[in-house]
Amino acid sequence: MSSIDSNLAAKYFGKNPDSKGATELMKRSPSEYRRIKEIALAQGLIVRQVYQDPDYRRRFDPVQLSEETIRLRATVPLAEVQSYYCGTSAGTAKNLGRLATEDPEKYRLIKSAAIAWEVIPPQAMPTAPEPKPVSQFVTVSDADCDKAGLPHGYQTNASGLETIHRVIAEVEAKRIEAQRLTTVSAEKLESDARIDASVAEFGRLLDLNREMAAKQRERDAEVPVV
């Protein structure tokens, strides 16, 4: 704000205001007049009258209900609210107290509707107790701990438990495969040994036959020809 604006505000709205000049300014330039007047209000040279407050007339506007209030009124009729709060046993354990115990959700609904219908003043609504936080850790079974080389009572989260189960499965699969290969190797060695023994026996028999044939030839040679 410039010093010129301050001087104009003091001139038109100060201690000895130039009312005539202010009127002429208003006629000549209403927007400029309003701007200088706002400066005078900001500087405390004049006080805004109640009727000049832009929000003044709003206090006479019809009260607008919130969406939640309309929803509660549409859900719970006034007659039902009054049956709890305006009957002969209103507010006693026979009605609200018993309802709070038997059906806490409906109790909160009726009480909220009573506030929406302005049967009772606004107040904090009782809320359902928050559930206790559930620990994200689980205890690994002793059997899995033994398989994974972990101490009994070991705890981990869901991701860690999945990892343990995957590692156990992988190790078990490798163990089974190694056992299979060992069995196959043992069976092959046994088979090879049987084949070698069979070949050796065949060779021994062949040598024996050759030896017998040679002796037979020798005997045949010794017999004189007649």
pLDDT of residue 93: 39
pLDDT of residue 223: 60
- Split at pLDDT 50, 70, 90, the class of 152 is very high
pTM (2 d.p.): 0.34
High-pLDDT (> 90) share of the chain, % = 17
- Split at pLDDT 50, 70, 90, the class of 132 is low
- Split at pLDDT 50, 70, 90, the class of 117 is very high
pLDDT of residue 206: 76
> Strand (E) positions, the chain?
138-139, 155-156
Asked if residue 142 has pLDDT above 90, the reply is yes
pLDDT of residue 92: 47
Question: What is the 8-class DSSP label of residue 149?
Answer: T
Structure tokens at 83: 């049956």
Asked if residue 51 has pLDDT above 60, the reply is no
Q: What is the mean pLDDT of residues 161-190?
A: 87
Question: What is the 8-class DSSP label of residue 126?
Answer: P
Asked if residue 154 has pLDDT above 80, the reply is yes
Asked if residue 185 has pLDDT above 90, the reply is no
| Helices 19-28 & 3-13 angle (0-180, nearest 10) | 120
Structure tokens at 20: 């005539």
- Split at pLDDT 50, 70, 90, the class of 43 is confident
- Split at pLDDT 50, 70, 90, the class of 49 is low
Q: What is the mean pLDDT of the chain?
A: 80
- Split at pLDDT 50, 70, 90, the class of 52 is low
Question: What is the 8-class DSSP label of residue 14?
Answer: S
Contact 76, 68 (CB under 8 A): no
Q: Which residues of 36-73 are buried (b: 16+ CB within 10 A; e: fewer)?
A: bbebbeeeebeeeeeeeeeeeeeeeeeeeeeeebeebe
Q: What is the mean pLDDT of residues 74-91?
A: 78
- Split at pLDDT 50, 70, 90, the class of 54 is low
